[in-house]
Amino acid sequence: MWSNSIGKAFVVTCFGESHGPVVGVTIDGCPAGLPLSTDDIQRYLDLRIPQEKEVVSARREPDIVEIFSGIFQNHTTGAPITLHIRNKDVKSADYEPMKDIVRPGHADYPAKVKFGGFSDYRGGGRLSGRMTAAFVAAGAIAQKLLSTFGVDVLAYTSSIASVAMHRVPELDIVRKMTLENSMRCPDPVIAEKMRQVVLRAKSEGDSVGGVVECITQNLPVGVGEPIFDSIDSELAKILFGIPAVKGVEFGAGFQSTRLRGSENNDQYVINDGKIMTLTNNSGGVLGGMSTGMPLLVRVAFKPPSSIAKEQKTVNVSEMEETELGVKGRHDPCVVPKAVPVVQGMVAISLADLMIRGGMIPRILKS
Amino acid sequence: MWSNSIGKAFVVTCFGESHGPVVGVTIDGCPAGLPLSTDDIQRYLDLRIPQEKEVVSARREPDIVEIFSGIFQNHTTGAPITLHIRNKDVKSADYEPMKDIVRPGHADYPAKVKFGGFSDYRGGGRLSGRMTAAFVAAGAIAQKLLSTFGVDVLAYTSSIASVAMHRVPELDIVRKMTLENSMRCPDPVIAEKMRQVVLRAKSEGDSVGGVVECITQNLPVGVGEPIFDSIDSELAKILFGIPAVKGVEFGAGFQSTRLRGSENNDQYVINDGKIMTLTNNSGGVLGGMSTGMPLLVRVAFKPPSSIAKEQKTVNVSEMEETELGVKGRHDPCVVPKAVPVVQGMVAISLADLMIRGGMIPRILKS
Amino acid sequence: MWSNSIGKAFVVTCFGESHGPVVGVTIDGCPAGLPLSTDDIQRYLDLRIPQEKEVVSARREPDIVEIFSGIFQNHTTGAPITLHIRNKDVKSADYEPMKDIVRPGHADYPAKVKFGGFSDYRGGGRLSGRMTAAFVAAGAIAQKLLSTFGVDVLAYTSSIASVAMHRVPELDIVRKMTLENSMRCPDPVIAEKMRQVVLRAKSEGDSVGGVVECITQNLPVGVGEPIFDSIDSELAKILFGIPAVKGVEFGAGFQSTRLRGSENNDQYVINDGKIMTLTNNSGGVLGGMSTGMPLLVRVAFKPPSSIAKEQKTVNVSEMEETELGVKGRHDPCVVPKAVPVVQGMVAISLADLMIRGGMIPRILKS
Amino acid sequence: MWSNSIGKAFVVTCFGESHGPVVGVTIDGCPAGLPLSTDDIQRYLDLRIPQEKEVVSARREPDIVEIFSGIFQNHTTGAPITLHIRNKDVKSADYEPMKDIVRPGHADYPAKVKFGGFSDYRGGGRLSGRMTAAFVAAGAIAQKLLSTFGVDVLAYTSSIASVAMHRVPELDIVRKMTLENSMRCPDPVIAEKMRQVVLRAKSEGDSVGGVVECITQNLPVGVGEPIFDSIDSELAKILFGIPAVKGVEFGAGFQSTRLRGSENNDQYVINDGKIMTLTNNSGGVLGGMSTGMPLLVRVAFKPPSSIAKEQKTVNVSEMEETELGVKGRHDPCVVPKAVPVVQGMVAISLADLMIRGGMIPRILKS
């Protein structure tokens, strides 16, 4: 009914509810010997939510991570690592009136049909975006592990509504600039336009979506287990696990359907004794395996469903049409918050595939 | 290294190579009591490849299916069903010269790095599009099973290069018209334009891509197991297992990133005592579960990588740049062939999720 | 390297170390709608360790369970349930001298070779019998679930050293008497003999083993998924996960190898309109499925490896022979403590198989 | 309902029915680069059934293996290997009268309840001992793989009825003598006594059971993934998948429950610079991991259930008591046939665990 675990070698199991005592995650299969402290995780949690109050929901969680297992003498032991993040700023009462009125765009209606009367509906329960705090925490460990092998995962906001970056930015720019603004966009000029779009939507009781782009550098060739656990299959699967995602594409993606083969094929050359391609329309993946070129994935986020504007809907217990404007605390745009989530999710999947492919050993050198 | 199985309840394991004796598949977990004969599978295999020679590769396989287990008195028994499709029209010699020269856009380069010297490279070996014959066979069983529960999966060509249908067609039209032309497009006028685009590309030694759209009707509400085995996660995963796929989106997909929440949210109404939505921007999926509206997924296929035009590449054993125009038998466009593959893959995933969700019992009524 | 999860539908993932902050467990897949409180779990933890100090280790943990997720309004929601039991009475210093001297009969030597330098060796780390507290907690939930369906799992001490019960006792006696003595043996006379054997071994710096028997009543016919997840396969697998187990048999078990077919076959009769067998040499399992007769499994526990007596061993870092008498707190016999562990493990496995077999629904009636 | 796959890295999926066209198996995850031909498999199939007609069932299958995938230039490629063994000597009519009368000791009754009306009941269908031909074929590949790493798996008959070998024999003797007699017992004198016991049981319309012992030599230290996929858990699980198995024990097994810790503990010494133990009561497994000493597992087989003697039973469709003497072709003792099956099953499980533990790489050196 629920499916709470992902991965085969680096297995992430999440648990908890939006308004329960904790959101948590167990990472099973992290190699032994990785230096790891709460700080390594905390700094990602601290960055998850932009500080600018105007552009995000009013729910404010300190998001302090606690580690309960799997660490000994400041290193991972290879045993499962369980993490908790306590929920503090909970206003369950906000959700009482909506118990029977299904919110358009949210999962309320199918969840009600599927899970029946026992579900924790407070704040979306287990379907809440709050779960992504656990993904970010697990992703922090995956990123620490990947970085040990020189692999660097970087996400950023590529577009919000119609305001878009028109080319893939330099990675150094991404690294330096993404966290400099509340939009998580490496181009400050575009970021400011995005911000205006978000504020306008908010002021009109509405919301906007956008695209998060994620680039992974220095991935070895051959990551991905074809046929079914190909790198694109695995990334797509985990990315659609993030609330509000409606599309995933690699490299030229949907655009490649309008190119000729001769344009779209990435031609091989030798550069400094290394095989490379002149273009990267494949997004660094061929036949479900990494090519050694930067891995480029683009993730479409729809505009948040909770809006103040009144919309038609239905009271399902009385089977009556009604209208609803969603009160309470919600985001006018989830894209900036989604940036570290995408980054973490990609890292989790790559860590899993690299271990499976033998590129990361189960015991690191001490 | 390879990953050959997919599904948790309706488990599909494929095997075989492009130039080996067979391409085969085992379906484990098909409920007992489904009437099934080779004809039910053969008719999908017969439709897989458009009959018009000009638009497809010259490799011609009769694709006769044989069943080896799991059927008793013309019904499934619940035991694993193993199917073979023999390979007959094999020209392995074509591939000898390309052993060391990696074809741009193909998986040759990462496969060589990943699998080393023991792989069967003939015709792409296990990475060949030929594997999709097994997917179509397994998909035939899934469709037979789904149809018993009133669920109908229909795919068609939505665009080739820049020639596109601009709206989702009526399903009756799709059902009647899709197989009437070699482009598998339900609109005959657009189909003819697509055909011209394909023929032009072919005559220029080039290739074109396109989008396959797949609609599933009558899916019950609540199919999909959030968080990680959500309906969109599972479909995306299996669809990226098809060679040449570069993007997957649901409903308004990437377009939804440019809509306001008030435009994108599908508002609920009651129609004939049933809860429905006025629009279907969600593509029939919310929170990873089906909503009861038609499930709409769009799949981007890149232009085939094998083209006659000369392209830069590398001889990897001599680490030398060279040029390659791919000889032999190849498709100028795989989109029409991909239509039944997408349809089968979607059906496999939905069968799996419906069994998992208790919507299809393990023993059908006798 | 480690394998910390078991089950396919009722999935139990354990974590924690003997001397870490907690021992914990996540139960994923418990059906929604089961009334559940900490009390339901606490009472099993309270019974885990006999109160008579003389017969058990001096380590004394209060073993208070805490629930972090998956419960709403005193019922399970179907979401993962995470439990912690804090470790309090930890004496890590006891284990320093044994860091390099491998204890005979313990896992120290293979663990050292397998996991290398990063493992938490304190008190056996993750290989400690302490992990069984988590099994008992998860088993408590499984038993609550099974009891809802009338299924009753009962374990007891059948033999210690050579003191044995010679026939399977009446279940009412088992239910009433097992917890009345510190040996967990339903026959008080035999229990007292067992106690003497344990005390004698202890006084001589030695230890003794024994057999735990477990009977399950009212199991429906057909539990177990042949071929590989048969009821005997699954129970054997989980039972060998308990430290110190060296053998598992069903019904007449090894004794059946000395019977003729005509003696061993359980003949069918009709009793009160129900199909039964005259004997139960099969132990309630045929072809890997339950027969409806009581399920009887017997589990052999070796004598504890930690003994005060000096024994030959090796200092592995200096590759030098030495002698070792194990100091610190240890049990002269683990059999009484193993009784609730066996009972819990059997319940976990049966809950998993009954859900998989459709005998327990995913949402209980409210 | 059925569970047809086992293993996580070396995954064996079996299919087929006793009276269907084939019994087959897919091995997924066999490392690339293993030299393999049909002969490597055929020789195990040829040895499966003792040639002496008097001691085995009259059903005679040539058991010719065919390979359909995964082999290229006489080596495994790492892709799935599918094998078929055709069924030829099928007498389905024998089973018609027994359709409704459940045979004591067989799985007929639970199978009928569990699988209902669609199962293939001919010759036991999928629950037939015939499935073990597929296990032997898969086991042959596992043994070829293990032998490449110096690991040698040897099974033999240890007892039949009350005729038993009283100590573990020398492995050279096992290797040389086991196949010299139809009992598969390395001691020819005991073998002859066993043979007399079997013939006597047969002449009296009855059957006998026995114990198969299996020793694995040269296993590296640390095979097995604690906690749940420990070496003993995994072996026990797969061994209970063989029809007629009622008990599994390691080393001193149930006997260890009657030993003191000081007797049962295997003391460590250094021998030729290698750490060894003076005894092997552990059977080569501690904490779920191999110790480097010979791995010793003992498997109890009950007497075959099909006997000519009349026994009470029930006609389940008419719910009427009746008597049944099983006609047709059956074995008076399955133990000799079980020897290569146990050997194959142990090898499959060890291959899986050694790959998982990194002791066998995914690509062998070419």
Structure tokens at D92: 């389905």
Question: Which residues on C lie below 8 Å from A38 (Cβ)?
Answer: none
Q: Are strands B81-86 and B71-72 parallel, antiparallel or unpaired?
A: unpaired
Q: A276-334 pLDDT, tens per residue?
A: 999 999 999 999 999 999 999 999 999 999 999 999 999 999 999 999 998 777 899 99
Segment holding A12, helix H or strand E: strand A11-16
Minimum distance, in Å, between the CA of residue D197 and any CA atom of chain B: 37
List alpha helices for A95-247, DSSP H.
Answer: 108-115, 132-148, 171-177, 188-203, 231-239
Structure tokens at A225: 């287990």
Closest by alpha carbon to C145, among C24, C42, C10, C241? C10
- Give yes or no for B261 touching C (CB within 8 A): no
Query: Number of Cβ pairs closer than 8 Å across A and D?
Result: 4
Please indicate whether, in this complex, the C-beta atoms of B246 and A249 are within 8 angstroms of each other: yes
Question: Which residues on C lie below 8 Å from A15 (Cβ)?
Answer: 26, 28, 68-70, 79-82
d(C-alpha B249, C-alpha B180), whole Å = 27
- What is the pLDDT averaged over residues B78-87? 96
Question: Which residues on D lie below 8 Å from B124 (Cβ)?
Answer: none
- Residue of D18, D101, D258, D310 to mutate when probing chain C, most C C-beta within 10 A: D258
Find how far residue A46's CA is from the centre of its chain: 15
Please indicate whether, in this complex, the C-beta atoms of A259 and B303 are within 8 angstroms of each other: yes
d(C-alpha C80, C-alpha C41), whole Å = 16
- Give yes or no for B227 touching C (CB within 8 A): no
- Length reported for chain C: 366
Structure tokens at A151: 């692999």
| pLDDT value of position B291 | 98
3-state secondary structure of B178: helix
Residue B362: which of C358, C361, C362 has the nearest Cβ? C358
Residue D68: which of B11, B33, B84 has the nearest Cβ? B84
| pLDDT value of position A96 | 66
Give yes or no for a contact between A254 and B75, defined as CB atoms under 8 angstroms apart.
no
Question: Which residues on C lie below 8 Å from B358 (Cβ)?
Answer: 361-362
Residue whose pair of structure tokens reads 């060890």 in the numeric block: D350
Please indicate whether, in this complex, the C-beta atoms of D362 and A358 are within 8 angstroms of each other: yes
For residue A97, pLDDT beyond 70: no
Residue C48: exposure state from Cβ atoms within 10 A (0-12, 13-18, ≥19): buried
Q: At what angle do helices D38-48 and D335-356 cross, to 10 degrees?
A: 140
* C50 contacts: CB under 8 Å, gap ≥ 6: C56, C182, C183, C184, C336, C337
Bridge partner list, B217: B152
- Give yes or no for D261 touching A (CB within 8 A): no
Report the 10 Å Cβ neighbour count for B149: 17
DSSP D339: H
- Give yes or no for A77 touching C (CB within 8 A): yes
The share of chain A scoring above pLDDT 70, in percent, equals 97
Q: Which residue has the higher pLDDT, C91 or B78?
A: B78
Please indicate whether, in this complex, the C-beta atoms of B227 and A14 are within 8 angstroms of each other: yes
- Give yes or no for D176 touching A (CB within 8 A): no
Q: C191-215 pLDDT, tens per residue?
A: 999 999 999 999 999 999 999 999 9
Residue C9: exposure state from Cβ atoms within 10 A (0-12, 13-18, ≥19): buried
Structure tokens at A193: 């336009």
Question: Which chains have at least 3 CB atom pairs separated by less than 8 Å from chain D?
Answer: A, B, C
Buried b (16+ CB within 10 A) or exposed e, C257-283: bbbbbbebbbbbeeeeeebbbeebbbb
Segment 310-349 of chain C within 8 Å of chain B by CB: none
- Give yes or no for A120 touching C (CB within 8 A): yes
φ, ψ at A215 (rounded to 5°): -115, 135
Please indicate whether, in this complex, the C-beta atoms of D20 and B117 are within 8 angstroms of each other: no
Is-above-0.90 flag for pTM?
Answer: yes
Among chain A residues, the shortest Cα distance to D80 is held by: A227
Q: C302-338 pLDDT, tens per residue?
A: 999 999 999 999 999 999 999 999 877 789 999 999 9
The amino acid that residue B114 corresponds to is K
List alpha helices for D84-187, DSSP H.
Answer: 108-115, 132-148, 171-177
Segment holding C277, helix H or strand E: strand C274-277
- Give yes or no for D82 touching B (CB within 8 A): yes
Q: Is B63 left (phi over 0), alpha (psi -120 to 50) or beta?
A: left
- Give yes or no for A261 touching C (CB within 8 A): no
Q: C50-61 pLDDT, tens per residue?
A: 888 888 887 778
In order of B160, B324, B328, C246, D161, the CA distances from B308 in angstroms are 20, 8, 9, 66, 73
Closest by alpha carbon to C346, among C300, C302, C295? C295
pLDDT tier for residue A362 given thresholds of 50, 70 and 90: very high
Give yes or no for a contact between D346 and D136, defined as CB atoms under 8 angstroms apart.
no
Q: Are strands A245-250 and A295-301 parallel, antiparallel or unpaired?
A: antiparallel
Segment holding B42, helix H or strand E: helix B38-48
Highest mean pLDDT among A44-48, C157-161, D116-120: C157-161
DSSP B32: B
Question: Which chains have at least 3 CB atom pairs separated by less than 8 Å from chain A?
Answer: B, C, D
Q: A132-182 pLDDT, tens per residue?
A: 999 999 999 999 999 999 999 999 999 999 999 989 999 999 999 999 999
The amino acid that residue D291 corresponds to is T
- Give yes or no for C8 touching A (CB within 8 A): no
| pLDDT value of position D346 | 98
Find how far residue D183's CA is from the centre of its chain: 15
Q: A210-219 pLDDT, tens per residue?
A: 999 999 999 9
For residue B97, pLDDT beyond 80: no
- Residue of A12, A65, A77, A366 to mutate when probing chain C, most C C-beta within 10 A: A77
d(C-alpha C206, C-alpha C306), whole Å = 8
Residue whose pair of structure tokens reads 């891509």 in the numeric block: B209
The amino acid that residue B132 corresponds to is T
Among chain C residues, the shortest Cα distance to D271 is held by: C321
d(C-alpha D15, C-alpha B362), whole Å = 18
d(C-alpha D230, C-alpha D237), whole Å = 11
Please indicate whether, in this complex, the C-beta atoms of A361 and D358 are within 8 angstroms of each other: yes
Please indicate whether, in this complex, the C-beta atoms of A262 and B126 are within 8 angstroms of each other: no
Minimum distance, in Å, between the CA of residue A181 and any CA atom of chain B: 20
Residue whose pair of structure tokens reads 């060739």 in the numeric block: A221
- Give yes or no for B118 touching A (CB within 8 A): no
3-state secondary structure of B338: helix
For residue C262, pLDDT beyond 90: yes
d(C-alpha A56, C-alpha A51), whole Å = 8
Structure tokens at C187: 């026959």
φ, ψ at A160 (rounded to 5°): -135, 125
d(C-alpha C12, C-alpha C351), whole Å = 11
Segment holding B105, helix H or strand E: none
| pLDDT value of position C98 | 65
| pLDDT value of position A69 | 97
For residue B55, pLDDT beyond 90: no
The amino acid that residue C244 corresponds to is A
| Lowest pLDDT segment from A340-354, B228-242, D52-66 | D52-66
Residue C24: which of A69, A75, A116 has the nearest Cβ? A69
The DSSP secondary structure of C286-308, one letter per residue, reads ETTEE-SSPEEEEEEEPPPS--S
For residue A254, pLDDT beyond 90: yes
ω into C275 cis (within 30 of 0): no
Highest mean pLDDT among A136-140, B107-111, B120-124, D48-52: A136-140
Minimum distance, in Å, between the CA of residue A74 and any CA atom of chain B: 30
DSSP B290: E
- Give yes or no for A28 touching C (CB within 8 A): yes
- What is the pLDDT averaged over residues A212-240? 98
Question: Which residues on D lie below 8 Å from C278 (Cβ)?
Answer: 312
Please indicate whether, in this complex, the C-beta atoms of B84 and D77 are within 8 angstroms of each other: no
| Lowest pLDDT segment from A245-259, B86-100, D251-265, D303-317 | B86-100
Q: D73-130 pLDDT, tens per residue?
A: 999 999 999 999 999 876 766 666 667 899 999 999 999 999 888 888 887 889 988 9
d(C-alpha D4, C-alpha B167), whole Å = 45
Please indicate whether, in this complex, the C-beta atoms of D78 and B11 are within 8 angstroms of each other: no
Segment holding D355, helix H or strand E: helix D335-356
Residue B287: which of A111, A233, A234 has the nearest Cβ? A111
Minimum distance, in Å, between the CA of residue D22 and any CA atom of chain B: 6
For residue B366, pLDDT beyond 70: no
Please indicate whether, in this complex, the C-beta atoms of D314 and C270 are within 8 angstroms of each other: yes
- Give yes or no for A250 touching B (CB within 8 A): yes
φ, ψ at C140 (rounded to 5°): -60, -40
- Residue of C15, C71, C84, C355 to mutate when probing chain A, most A C-beta within 10 A: C15
Residue D99: exposure state from Cβ atoms within 10 A (0-12, 13-18, ≥19): middle
List alpha helices for chain C, DSSP H.
Answer: 38-48, 108-115, 132-148, 171-177, 188-203, 231-239, 261-264, 335-356
C-alpha dihedral (A194, A237, B156, B347), degrees to nearest 10 = -150
Please indicate whether, in this complex, the C-beta atoms of C77 and A24 are within 8 angstroms of each other: no
C-alpha dihedral (B57, B63, B69, B70), degrees to nearest 10 = 80
- Give yes or no for A226 touching D (CB within 8 A): no
Give yes or no for a contact between C234 and C352, defined as CB atoms under 8 angstroms apart.
yes
Structure tokens at B306: 């094998």
| pLDDT value of position A99 | 77
pLDDT tier for residue A260 given thresholds of 50, 70 and 90: very high
3-state secondary structure of D91: coil
Q: B116-153 pLDDT, tens per residue?
A: 888 888 878 899 889 999 999 999 999 999 999 999 99
- Give yes or no for C219 touching D (CB within 8 A): no
- Give yes or no for A69 touching D (CB within 8 A): no
